[in-house]
């Protein structure tokens, strides 16, 4: 249960981070079949499909390293469904990863990797 709470807390921190940077949050936890996108946001004309990964340590690598090729494919498929469902054509898209590291005192360090992978 603690792992899920860490993930939920991380997603909230990531959404707040994006809002502070001027992004408009369109969806959170958008799901389709077996895929889910943590945050769908817009900055200017570009849609950002954001995977959020939160960790307490880098013992097993950085959070972004856990976004496997299979996970990327699920995000692509879910993003394609989102675009089709909303009738969005020819919109620039970015597939991002937000890494969050939670310190023992409760603070988070945020690393936003834009265009982390290609669709």
Separation of alpha carbons 11 and 51, rounded Å: 9
Residue span of the structural domain in which 43 resides: 2-117
Counted domains in the chain = 1
For the entire predicted model, the pTM comes to 0.92
- Mean pLDDT, range 34-46, rounded to an integer: 96
CA distances from 65 to 22, 55, 81, 99, 119 (A): 27, 12, 25, 10, 17
Across residues 83-112, what is the average pLDDT?
94
For the residues 59-74, what does the mean pLDDT come to? 89
Mean of all residue pLDDT scores within the chain: 92
Domain CATH for 61: 3.40.1350.10
Q: What is the spatial distance between Cα 53 and Cα 63, in angstroms, rounded to a whole number?
A: 5
Work out the average pLDDT over 90-108: 94
């Amino acid at each position: 249960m603690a792992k899920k709470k860490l993930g939920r807390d991380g997603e909230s921190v990531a959404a707040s981070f994006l809002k502070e940077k001027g992004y408009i949050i369109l969806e959170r936890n958008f799901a389709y079949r077996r895929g889910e996108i943590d945050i769908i946001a817009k900055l200017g004309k570009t849609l950002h499909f954001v995977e959020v990964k939160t960790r307490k340590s880098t013992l097993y690598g950085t959070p972004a390293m856990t976004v496997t090729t299979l996970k990327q494919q699920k995000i692509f498929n879910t993003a394609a469904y989102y675009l089709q469902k909303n009738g969005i054509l020819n919109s620039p898209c970015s597939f991002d990863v937000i890494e969050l590291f939670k310190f023992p005192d409760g603070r988070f360090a945020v690393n936003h990797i834009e265009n982390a992978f290609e669709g």
